[in-house]
Amino acid sequence: MSLRSQNKVARIMIEGFQHLEGYLDLDVQRRCLEMVHGVLEKAPLYRPRMPRSGKLFSILMSNCGDLGWVSDKDGGYRYQSFHPETREPWPAIPLAFLEIWGKVADWPTPPEACLINSYSEGTKLGSHVDADEPEKYAPVVSVSLGDDAVFHVGGSNRADPKQRLILKSGDVVVLGGAARRAYHGIDQVVPGTSDLLPGGGRINLTLRRVTVA
């Protein structure tokens, strides 16, 4: 029996969790990155604030799609149709991202939101459940570009044991089924592990269905 099947290097076993390693080849990753840059020209990255405390996130964010996920001190976590700083409507979701959803989501309607997370060295994303979408059953599809990230995923209670895996550039993760309600986050981004982004760092896209069709 190999080490892997003996559980020394365990595969994540949560119903509805899929880690599609190397799903996007380098050419597609480069095209996706160009499209991200196109979106960010119209909807620049900004640093959101936590609800109530007003504490700044360590990562930068933007969105494309009819709806974008935003957070600030007074309004809290929510979806809205415009950029919180420019007040302009979010740009459309590029076709290439819609195609990824079409291939992996197994869901009849298209995503309405694509959140863009940008990590520089030393930034992380605390453990959370994606729970701000009225549509609770559609999966969330995530695309990783750039440096490796240490991702954790646990159960539906914050204290449940967590499993960790490395997300590499071109990996796609699907959180559907029970995994849709699982706590997850990014512990760290490992510098110098990819040269896709000229200055290093990592970009993650999460595609979501927000409204109940």
Which CB, 134 or 192, lies closer to Fe ion? 134
145 binds ligand MD6 (CB under 6 A): no
The DSSP 8-state label assigned to residue 21 in this structure reads T
Q: Decide: is 63 part of the binding site for ligand MD6 (CB under 6 A).
A: no
Residue 104 binding: pick among Fe ion, ligand MD6, none (C-beta 5-8 Å cut-off by kind): none
Question: 70-109 mask for ligand MD6 (x: CB under 6 A)?
Answer: ----------------------------------------
Query: Which spans in 23-182 are helix H?
Result: 26-42, 95-104
Pull the structure tokens for residue 87. 């007040």
Question: Looking at the DSSP assignment, which residues form a beta bridge with residue 145?
Answer: 203
How far is it, in rounded angstroms, from Cα 78 to Cα 89? 15
Q: Assign 33 to helix, strand or coil.
A: helix
Which residue lies nearer to ligand MD6 by CB, 168 or 184? 184
125 lies in the site for ligand MD6, by CB under 6 A: yes
Give the nearer residue to ligand MD6 in terms of CB position, either 50 or 89. Answer: 50
The Cα 93–Cα 111 span in angstroms is 9
For ligand MD6, the binding residues in 168-187 under the rule CB under 6 A are: 173, 175, 184, 186
Nearest to 183 by CA among 170, 166, 164: 164
How many helices (H) and strands (E) would you count in the chain? Answer: 2, 12
In angstroms, rounded to a whole number, what is the distance separating the alpha carbons of residues 21 and 88?
35
Q: Identify the residue whose tokens are 């986050």.
A: 185
Does position 206 interact with ligand MD6 (CB under 6 A)? The reply is yes
117 binds ligand MD6 (CB under 6 A): yes
Q: How many residues bind Fe ion (CB under 5 A)?
A: 1
Say whether 28 sits in a helix, a strand or coil: helix
Closer to ligand MD6 by Cβ: residue 42 or 181: 181
Asked if 130 touches Fe ion (CB under 5 A), the answer is: yes
Residue with tokens 């750039």: 146
Residue 171 binds Fe ion (CB under 5 A) = no
Residue 163 is encoded by which pair of tokens?
A: 């499993």
CB of 111 to ligand MD6, least distance (A): 12
Q: Which residues form the interface with ligand MD6 (CB under 6 A)? A: 117, 125, 130, 140, 142, 173, 175, 184, 186, 204, 206
Q: Which residues form the interface with Fe ion (CB under 5 A)? A: 130
